Amino acid sequence: MSAFPNFSTKASKVRVVSTVILFFCAASTIQAQEITLTERAAEAYQLCSTNSHLDGLDCNCIAQGFMAFDAKQPENSVVNIFDEFMRTDITECVVPEKIRAKAVGRCMEAVPYGRVPNSRNLSEEELCSCIGDEALKEALAGNPVGAGLSSAAILACGT
């Protein structure tokens, strides 16, 4: 028996053609799923980059993590999966400089209006620098979303 199919019969030709068609259909389906996953990751990137509470995070990193998370449950909506993913450990996506700068900036805006307690009588720069450091610690400990003028950072520095 030959290792190659006998193309002289009509049945062999039909079998080979149907096998080739099945292969291309399967490849097209896989490619379509990858495009959809990429499009969904782009939507997750958009959700991240337009949310001011997430501006201390690397949205490319978030989109990549989202892709892995989304692949497990593609039938769910992007927003639902994004929300669920953001509750996981995303500390590898924290951009320390951005987190600290955001917290210091928000503090410097609030101090002149007496919105930040300062019973330790620190200068504005010292107080806000402390709050920036505490916000960064908080973000790296697993709470990067909305890091800034958190009550924990204010209590650690202002009282």
- Residues 94-120: pLDDT tens digits? 999 999 999 999 999 999 888 888 889
Backbone angles phi, psi at 57, to 5 degrees: -115, 155
In this prediction, residue 25 carries a pLDDT of 43
Q: Which of these, 41, 28, 116, 141, lies nearest to 85 by C-alpha position?
A: 41
Please tell me the distance from the alpha carbon of residue 106 to that of residue 123, in angstroms, as a whole number: 15
Q: Which of these, 148, 150, 121, 141, lies nearest to 56 by C-alpha position?
A: 148
pLDDT band per the 50, 70, 90 thresholds, residue 18: very low
Q: What is the mean pLDDT of the chain?
A: 79
pLDDT band per the 50, 70, 90 thresholds, residue 75: confident
Q: Which of these, 54, 46, 150, 153, lies nearest to 95 by C-alpha position?
A: 54
Q: pTM for this one? A: 0.67
Percent of the chain with pLDDT over 90: 40
How far from the centroid of its chain's Cα atoms is residue 98's Cα? 15
Mean pLDDT to the nearest integer, 55-81 = 89
